[in-house]
């Protein structure tokens, strides 16, 4: 299958969804919109909500953000987007600003779905409010930045109602080339897998400049540089590759040892700019993972290579997605790409092998809502987040750490200031 065939098949699926003639268990009629509220009007949040609006029956009707300038920019963006789609502008009563915006949006009867695209430190708090209010939730990764939050998320998962759908933003799983490769790998195309190599080499994140703001506001606006707010690069960014490995192996790591540090970056913050992690999975399968997040010289590459007794597989963001060996296979549209030539997308909207990832993830999620075949991906999201925390702890302590030790340690990060100052 190539991209054209996939697009045609996908169009048929969505058309079928739009032509349903019966009400679902949730009362969504055939062509009624799922009313979408975006919590966090930043770069990634805006990109994902726009994709929902363009590619599904969801309609962005509400916005929330801590800062008034972000909220105003979001309103302008989505008013123009909605006008182009023939929809009404955002109603002023559905604009929520300040530290309680998440609670106000959760309480609104005019919102069906809440997209959580706030800094990772707040994901679990905002997830709890949305779930307890009975909303469908699309929560960006990670589901927790420390063990305490991970445990809290698992308790929230138990309260998800049979009529609620909750997805975690691991859209890479839905990229057609990666999905096709994963099916073959999980079907045994490589034989016994022994070694996996994972990598995520990315440029530094850019500073958000707002002269005259307080130190606390500066931290919040530049949360990617802050360990407590982001979880560090392994938990916030590299998590996509660790998730793909867990998914393809059907397991989570048992232990890890790691090195790394802050060797290049000199700006404010305490996140590392490089990691080298050795994860051990059941059956003594090893994942060697390497990452960087510094520089701005056009060097970006991310993906996995898996090696088994009967073949090897390459699953990059950009470059040939293929299997070599006894069950050789390749994704046709990727074979002309040169590995490592992709461009980094700060908003997560990558091209090449991930070009359709967001669209397919969002369509699958909205279909779960409109058909009643709901998802609850919280526990799976927590497992991947904990896998990354395992590597992070191994790096910080400079020793091997087991899964049991991570959970027993119960690491906790504190914000260190009150959010009420932004009320």
Residue 204 domain-assigned (yes or no): yes
Give every residue of the chain whose pLDDT is below 70, as ranges: 1-31, 334-343, 345, 347-350
Examine the domain organization and report whether 143 and 231 are in the same domain: no
Please give the tally of structural domains in the chain: 2
Examine the domain organization and report whether 114 and 197 are in the same domain: no
Residue 267 domain-assigned (yes or no): yes
pLDDT score at 6:
45
pLDDT score at 296:
85
Tell me whether residue 228 is exposed, middle or buried, using C-beta atoms within 10 angstroms of its C-beta: 0 to 12, 13 to 18, 19 or more. buried
Cα separation of 264 and 267, whole Å?
10
pLDDT score at 10:
46
DSSP 380-412: HHHHHHHHHHHHHHHHHHTS-EEHHHHHHHT--
pLDDT score at 2:
53
Residue 73 domain-assigned (yes or no): yes
pLDDT score at 188:
98
Last residue of a domain, which of 123, 142, 171?
171
Domain span at residue 303 reads 173-346+377-409
Question: For the chain, what is the mean pLDDT?
Answer: 92
Cβ contacts of residue 128 below 8 Å, gap of 6+? 152, 156
Examine the domain organization and report whether 90 and 225 are in the same domain: no
pLDDT score at 327:
97
Examine the domain organization and report whether 255 and 392 are in the same domain: yes
Residue 417 domain-assigned (yes or no): no
Residue 295 domain-assigned (yes or no): yes
Examine the domain organization and report whether 82 and 183 are in the same domain: no
Examine the domain organization and report whether 271 and 296 are in the same domain: yes
Examine the domain organization and report whether 137 and 195 are in the same domain: no
Examine the domain organization and report whether 134 and 207 are in the same domain: no
Examine the domain organization and report whether 294 and 208 are in the same domain: yes
Examine the domain organization and report whether 86 and 147 are in the same domain: yes
29-to-33, 34, 109, 197 alpha-carbon distances in Å = 8, 10, 18, 46
Residue 158 domain-assigned (yes or no): yes
Tens of pLDDT, residue by residue over 90-136, are 999 999 999 999 999 999 999 999 999 999 999 999 999 999 999 99
Examine the domain organization and report whether 250 and 134 are in the same domain: no
Tens of pLDDT, residue by residue over 384-395, are 999 999 999 999
DSSP 200-231: EEEPPPPP---TT--HHHHHHHTGGG-HHHH-
Cα separation of 233 and 50, whole Å?
25
Residue 369 domain-assigned (yes or no): no
CA dihedral 23, 24, 26, 30 (to 10 degrees): -50
Examine the domain organization and report whether 327 and 396 are in the same domain: yes
Residue 151 domain-assigned (yes or no): yes
């Amino acid at each position: 299958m190539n991209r054209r065939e996939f697009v045609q098949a996908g169009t048929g699926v969505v058309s079928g969804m739009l032509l349903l003639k019966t009400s679902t268990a949730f009362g969504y009629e055939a062509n009624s919109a799922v009313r979408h509220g975006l919590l966090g009007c930043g770069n990634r949040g805006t990109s994902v909500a726009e994709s929902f609006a363009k590619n599904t029956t969801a309609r962005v009707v509400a916005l929330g953000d801590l800062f008034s300038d972000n909220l105003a920019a979001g309103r302008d963006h989505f008013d123009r987007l909605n006008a182009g789609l023939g929809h009404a502008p955002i109603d002023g009563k559905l604009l929520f600003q300040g530290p309680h915006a998440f609670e106000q949006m959760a309480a609104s009867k005019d919102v069906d779905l809440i997209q959580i695209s706030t800094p990772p430190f707040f994901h679990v708090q905002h997830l709890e409010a949305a779930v307890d209010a009975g909303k469908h939730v699309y929560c960006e990764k990670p589901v927790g930045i420390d063990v305490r939050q991970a445990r809290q998320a698992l308790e929230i998962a138990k309260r998800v109602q049979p009529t609620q759908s909750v997805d975690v933003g691991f859209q890479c799983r839905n990229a057609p080339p990666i999905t096709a490769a994963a099916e073959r790998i999980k079907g045994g195309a490589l034989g016994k897998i022994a070694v996996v190599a994972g990598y995520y080499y990315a440029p530094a994140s850019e500073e958000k400049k707002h002269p005259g703001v307080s130190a606390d506001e500066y931290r919040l606006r530049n949360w990617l540089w802050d360990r407590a707010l982001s979880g560090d690069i392994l938990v916030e960014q590299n998590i996509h590759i660790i998730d793909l490995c867990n998914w393809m192996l059907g397991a989570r790591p048992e232990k890890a040892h790691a090195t790394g540090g802050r060797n290049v970056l000199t700006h404010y913050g305490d996140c590392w700019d490089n990691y080298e992690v050795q994860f051990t999975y059941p059956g003594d399968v090893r994942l060697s993972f390497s990452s960087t997040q510094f520089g701005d010289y056009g060097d970006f590459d991310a993906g996995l290579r898996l090696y088994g007794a009967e073949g090897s597989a390459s699953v990059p963001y950009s470059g040939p997605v293929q299997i070599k060996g006894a069950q050789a296979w390749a994704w046709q549209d990727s074979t002309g790409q040169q590995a490592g030539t992709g461009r980094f997308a700060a908003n997560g909207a990558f091209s090449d092998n991930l070009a359709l990832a967001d669209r397919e993830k969002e369509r699958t999620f909205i279909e779960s809502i409109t058909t009643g075949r709901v998802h609850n991906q919280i526990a799976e999201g927590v497992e991947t987040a904990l896998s990354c925390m395992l590597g992070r702890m191994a790096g910080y302590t400079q020793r091997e750490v087991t899964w049991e030790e991570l959970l027993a340690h119960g690491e906790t990060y504190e914000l260190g200031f009150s959010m009420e100052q932004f009320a």
